Structure 1
Amino acid sequence: MDKFYQRVPKRPFDSSSSSNSINEVISDEQDPPSDPAQRKPILDYNPNERDRIRRYYLIEGHGPCQPHNHVFPQRNFSGAMRRFNPSWFGLHKVWLEYSIEKDAAFCLCCYLFRPENLGSGGGTNFVGEGFRNWKKATKSFEEHVGDSLSWHNQARKKCLDLMNQAQSIRAVVNKQTVRQERDYRMQLGAIVDCVKFLCRQGLAFRGHDESESSFNEGNFRELLRFLGDHNEEIDKVIFDKAPQNLKLIAPEIQKDIVNACAEETTKDIIAELGDELFSVLIDEARDASTKEQMAVVIRFVNKSGSVVERFLGIVHVSDTTALCLKAALENLFGKHGLSLSRLRGQGYDGASNMSGEFNGLKALIMNENESAYYVHCFAHQLQLTLVAVANNHAQVGLFFQMVARLLNVTGGSCKRRDQLRDEARINVVEAISSEEIVTGSGLNQESSLARAGDTRWSSHFNTLNSLVVLFSPTFRVIEQIEMDGSTWQQRSEARGLRREIQNFEFVFVLLLMRDTLIITHNLSQTLQCKSQDMVNAIRLVNIAKQRLQHMRDSGWELLLKKVCAFCEKHSIKVPSMEEEYFDNPRYQTGTTNLHYYRVDLFNTVIDMQLKELNDRFNETNTQLLICMSCLDPRNSFSAFDIEKLVQLAQFYPSDFNQFELPILNSQLENYILDVQDDRVFLEVSTILELSEKMVKTNRHNAHPLVYKLVKLGLILPVATASVERAFSAMNIVKTSMRSRMGDQWMNDCLITFIEKDLFKRVSNERIMERFQNMKARRGILI
């Protein structure tokens, strides 16, 4: 064999080339870039993929890249400053595109169908490098379009032919009858109904075995079969009664329909946003397959004056550096026609790659848009306040360590959890029989010890509150483990815990931390409301500080009374406050119990809480928020200050130019006289209520610049709770049993699941039309 064929030496394995090829495959499966400057030539795609790419750009909702709200930069043309005019989009809606990256205009139709060797009809400016001569834009656009036989119009006609399935070769050859068209519409409509139901519930589609003889076909097939069993017309057009090559039950079809649902829902979100300014909330988390995901939520004021937070999407980021996060955010914004120049706020959880002063995502965005002010999530700061106190106070830190051990011992097995539930049930029955607690609907439900976590807001309060309620059942379970533990380690650990929780100091710290945390817990729950505004959030933080200070000044006697009553109820010895405190029986401390518990614990813990709150919520000292507080409508607009509100407008130079500032001053004078004389505004207490009242009474048109200030105050983010809710939804949609979900598949399911209120209003007709336009289908939807 070697005589006729020469052996080719084996080449060494090149990991870089292998990784590059893998990356190319992965990138081909992802959505093509929206910015025209980032696209590769259409002829560089595989011939079998070109129609898919063309349909992606032509389908309604994607279409030409036309960022209407972008702040277009100016350039010097022969001594005159000129820029791209967004009104050109309206004149050339079908084909004109704009690249934010290159500040240049492109033609979508010529990009999709222009021959490679074409050099006439406007040159290659609208396809290759882009057109940037804004001085001659109008004339150049007309020359590019040309007459009916121009290359541009020929490319435009090919775009129309591609999207017109009724005139395709396949449709002409396989001409459907009227009945077949009706059956196909009914079949597709039934399948869309099933997909919409599963998306809204966050349920899995596929089953373990989808064969016809299987008893576990999966939710999609089971639901479709159930629908057919209860509707004779539908039963005639699904499964075996449908054409063999048009059953529409394959996983690819399901994914296409879900993608159509998600795209239509996102389209409604962008339509709801309109031309409004907005802020962005971002966080990162790992999914069930240990992939880093970045969730993006936008916050804006809708047409009725209400604050809205909408989930825009989730993006897989292989690298969590600030540059990669910014690139992923820009790509997502470009896909939906949004621009970073319209940002007026950023909300993160304080991670260094997000909020870094020099190289964080916050800094990178503010380098391009100085009005995109950053706000550290308020609810996260409250959690950090508790963690700081627990780490810096010795007794509090030891207390939380002991609580963690207690939870591990009592919840270490199913048997112990059942014992705790049984003891709690006995405790409730005894309390009801002695009339200590009342009965009623929803009362005295089964409960267990909640586990705290530093990354779960307000979880420490839930832990301490459950421990107070279940103290006796927990103590009895510890005693039982001490007697019946399977190993001597379990028995000795239970014995040590029993002695510790029977200590007066443990009970004192337990009730002290519960009473202080209930203040910040209520604040945290309030701050996580989507409609919360920054001015009201600052006011709530100040109220929490006042409550803590009041507790320090006059709450000692009440707390001591609670602790003594708790100890008496559970047979715990109460030491005399006048006696000397002994931390260790072998050493004398020289202080009394009163001094230790009141000064070293009570006063010190509250002082540390107050100090941390003052340090972490330093936004109250910034001039921006001081000016914004003048919008507060409480007490008949007593905080209103024209000078500071004009100064607030100067923080947003892109929204208030030098000609509008004098007009704003006059509008503010008219506005305050108008609203103070109207009884409708007397009961308004928040900026949100003020915004809604202004829209309802048409004051937003009478005082447009003032209303713009109100909206800027509302869109500044307070907490990233909506992003956290998105991650909770991600854990429902993508579980360990469904860990192989692709990124696009998961993103589509999340959008329809999280924004189900908008998704419910999306009609089946819109979904079916988008589904048909995605690719050439065997069935024609007329």
Structure 2
Amino acid sequence: MRLQFFGKLSIAEQLDEGYRIGIRRHNEEVRKNRHILSRIIDCVKFCGAFELALRGHDESQSSDNPGIFRGLVDFVAALDGVLKEHLENATVFKGTSKTVQNELLDCMLSVVREHIIKEAQSCDFLSIQADETTDVATQCQLVLVLRYIDAKSNIQERFFAFIPLHSATADSISTALKEHLAVIIPENQKRKLISQAYDGASVMRGATAGFASFFSRSPKRTDVLDKVVARRLPTSSSARWNFHSRAVNTVFEQREDLIRCFEMIRDSSDFDPSERQEHLPCCSRIQILIFFLQLFHNIMPHVDLLYAKLQKKEIDSVHIKKSIQQFQEDIQKIRNSLHSLVDQSNEGGGPQPKRRRSLSPEVHKRIAAEVHETWNVLSMQKKFQALKWNTMERFSFTNHLVSATLLQADRFEQYTLEFPENALSMTLKAYPVLNSNKLKTELSLIYSKEEFRTCCGAVDLLQLFMENNLVDVFSETVTLLKILITTPMTTAEAERCFSTLKRIKTFLRNSMTQERLNALAMLSMEKRLVIEITDFNMKVIEKFASQKERRAKFLFK
């Protein structure tokens, strides 16, 4: 039979069968290579998410310090036989070199950025936050953060890039921002950029660092502090308000022991007399100190509350206006109680459980007179007035943000009696895109309904419209809400980016490239987004395979 059919079989069919077998073998090899590369990508993502250094001192096979990445790959290989076999036998592509790490990081950064750009281009309005700092390598870094409402009506503040600057001038900053915004926002969507937030104010002080500095600069004084107080004093921070609050509260709680420390240093022969005279406060200054401790101990809880509210991503102009008003009212109450505070400080600043050397009545009168003369009630009232105006100035909104008052739920009942025509006219002037007649009709209906009066802020009101399918009914109000929500009230997210920058680019990692820095920062700050992106590893592999011609096979036929 074989002899009879010899030479009569179709060569094309035989070639087709061989071609199919070749494709099947090729795809099996690709599937295996992709599995291995996906495991390596997981290791890189893990190191990036937890801000761990990938490379070690020596990455050779026999090294005792190959780095976290190599150690993690070896750990995963112990649980994955395919990866273990690959690491033991690979000759063409092993996947653990520094070059492959950098290429994978570039691909991950590209995939996440494309997702963010897609979200930004599909949203209705967009705002940016920008701030600059100097990293450990003395390189000026400008951070760019995007704020928008995504398709699920959630507020997003996305880190986009650290941009290196040759100088922190207005021209260089504007040029860098325009180049990156041209990639994010197409020419026909420029009108959606409604807000830009820049933190250019030097609002923090504390160069002398207060009590903590007084004790830390001398081992002898530190030893006295440890013996009497049995704890160290927290230092103030130039970037976080709550660190000042922690320092004030600690000093206030330990004020009696600290005064004992001063007295021991003053009376001890171990300290140089000139040093004691230069640094130690006199009795009258201690009374003034106690007065200010009590004062700021009363103020700082309100500062902490305001600080906590300002750090939230969901903060909007409607909500923040109420918070600022409440803060000003609380400061006013403290101002009104200054008389009792001065009297309390003159009496010794509260309970004194530890007996100290008593002072004569004449000395008490002189100290009280100095406190009153130096910080009398009238001068303190002026200072509180300055604090109040400083608060109003710092958190003052430009005229177009008066529109936030239109959507304050606690005013809806009042607006049913008298419609806020002035605020509406200023809103329409700021946002000409809104239809005046339709917006007024919608607001009048909102003010008259009990269902809307329980909403706290613009975000809650927008969610109410979304959940009840009222977006089309209240289209103009929804547009106004999206504008107000998209407009950032603080630049807290930019400061969080700088905190991440300082953890990633450290003294021991100060020579990393800008691309690697951006990729590691993106994996850390947007780790939740990386998890949510569908088939993230596969998208990274596609980009990795298409970058250049590779000897290892990663593309299916």
- Residue pairs, 1:41-56, within 5 angstroms: none
What is the total number of aligned residue pairs between the two structures?
524
Whole-Å separation in 1 of the counterparts to 2:318 and 2:374:
39
SS in 2 for 1:237: helix
In the alignment, structure 1 residue 772 sits paired with structure 2 residue 545: yes
For 1:434, the equivalent position in structure 2 comes to none
C-alpha contact 1:481 1:494 (8 A) present in aligned 2: no
For 2:438, the equivalent position in structure 1 comes to 666
* Aligned partner letter, 1:633: A
2:123 is aligned, of 247, 252, 275, to: 275
TM-score of the aligned structures, taking structure 1 as reference length: 0.61
- Residue pairs, 1:47-86, within 5 angstroms: none
In the alignment, structure 1 residue 632 sits paired with structure 2 residue 408: yes
Structure 1 residue 315: deviation in Å?
0.3
C-alpha contact 1:631 1:637 (8 A) present in aligned 2: no
For 2:463, the equivalent position in structure 1 comes to 692
Whole-Å separation in 2 of the counterparts to 1:766 and 1:415:
61
In the alignment, structure 1 residue 312 sits paired with structure 2 residue 117: no
- Alpha-carbon distance change, 333 to 294 in structure 1, aligned in 2, over 3 angstroms: same
* Aligned partner letter, 1:409: F
- Alpha-carbon distance change, 336 to 279 in structure 1, aligned in 2, over 3 angstroms: closer
Whole-Å separation in 1 of the counterparts to 2:255 and 2:138:
38
* Aligned partner letter, 1:264: V
In the alignment, structure 1 residue 648 sits paired with structure 2 residue 424: no
- Alpha-carbon distance change, 689 to 178 in structure 1, aligned in 2, over 3 angstroms: closer
For 2:6, the equivalent position in structure 1 comes to none
SS in 2 for 1:624: helix
Structure 1 residue 412: deviation in Å?
3.1
String of CA shifts for 1:493-535, please: whole Å, max 9, x gaps.
4884364698211111122123223323321331222111123
Q: Larger RCO: Structure 1 or Structure 2 (Cα < 8 Å, ≥ 6 residues apart)? A: 2
Whole-Å separation in 2 of the counterparts to 1:744 and 1:245:
26
Structure 1 residue 235: deviation in Å?
1.0
Structure 1 residue 617: deviation in Å?
3.8
C-alpha contact 1:279 1:346 (8 A) present in aligned 2: yes
For 2:7, the equivalent position in structure 1 comes to none
- Alpha-carbon distance change, 527 to 557 in structure 1, aligned in 2, over 3 angstroms: same
For 2:11, the equivalent position in structure 1 comes to none
C-alpha contact 1:348 1:720 (8 A) present in aligned 2: yes
For 1:554, the equivalent position in structure 2 comes to 337
* Aligned partner letter, 1:605: K
Structure 1 residue 207: deviation in Å?
0.3
C-alpha contact 1:516 1:606 (8 A) present in aligned 2: no
C-alpha contact 1:734 1:746 (8 A) present in aligned 2: yes
For 1:755, the equivalent position in structure 2 comes to 526
Whole-Å separation in 2 of the counterparts to 1:450 and 1:642:
51
Whole-Å separation in 2 of the counterparts to 1:611 and 1:675:
32
Structure 1 residue 215: deviation in Å?
0.6
* Aligned partner letter, 1:250: S
- Alpha-carbon distance change, 405 to 266 in structure 1, aligned in 2, over 3 angstroms: same
In the alignment, structure 1 residue 407 sits paired with structure 2 residue 255: no
1:254 is aligned, of 73, 93, 101, to: 101
* Aligned partner letter, 1:772: A
Instruction: Report the aligned-residue RMSD.
Output: 3.4
Structure 1 residue 341: deviation in Å?
3.7
In the alignment, structure 1 residue 349 sits paired with structure 2 residue 127: no
Structure 1 residue 549: deviation in Å?
1.4
- Alpha-carbon distance change, 207 to 418 in structure 1, aligned in 2, over 3 angstroms: farther
- Residue pairs, 1:87-166, within 5 angstroms: none
- Residue pairs, 1:375-414, within 5 angstroms: 383=203, 404-412=209-217
For 1:74, the equivalent position in structure 2 comes to none
1:545 is aligned, of 325, 328, 334, to: 328
For 2:110, the equivalent position in structure 1 comes to 263
SS in 1 for 2:481: helix
Whole-Å separation in 2 of the counterparts to 1:597 and 1:558:
11
* Aligned partner letter, 2:244: H
C-alpha contact 1:292 1:318 (8 A) present in aligned 2: yes
The percentage of counterpart residues that share the same residue type is 23
Whole-Å separation in 2 of the counterparts to 1:577 and 1:650:
66
In the alignment, structure 1 residue 204 sits paired with structure 2 residue 53: yes
For 2:41, the equivalent position in structure 1 comes to 192
C-alpha contact 1:206 1:217 (8 A) present in aligned 2: yes
Structure 2: stretches of 5+ with no match in the other structure:
1-21
Whole-Å separation in 1 of the counterparts to 2:359 and 2:460:
51
Going by fraction, where is helix more abundant, 1 or 2? Answer: 2
1:464 is aligned, of 234, 248, 252, to: 248
Whole-Å separation in 1 of the counterparts to 2:271 and 2:84:
63
C-alpha contact 2:284 2:367 (8 A) present in aligned 1: no
C-alpha contact 1:630 1:644 (8 A) present in aligned 2: yes
C-alpha contact 1:302 1:308 (8 A) present in aligned 2: yes
SS in 2 for 1:347: strand
SS in 2 for 1:320: coil
For 2:392, the equivalent position in structure 1 comes to 614
Whole-Å separation in 1 of the counterparts to 2:370 and 2:446:
63
For 2:5, the equivalent position in structure 1 comes to none
SS in 2 for 1:344: strand
Whole-Å separation in 1 of the counterparts to 2:528 and 2:106:
17
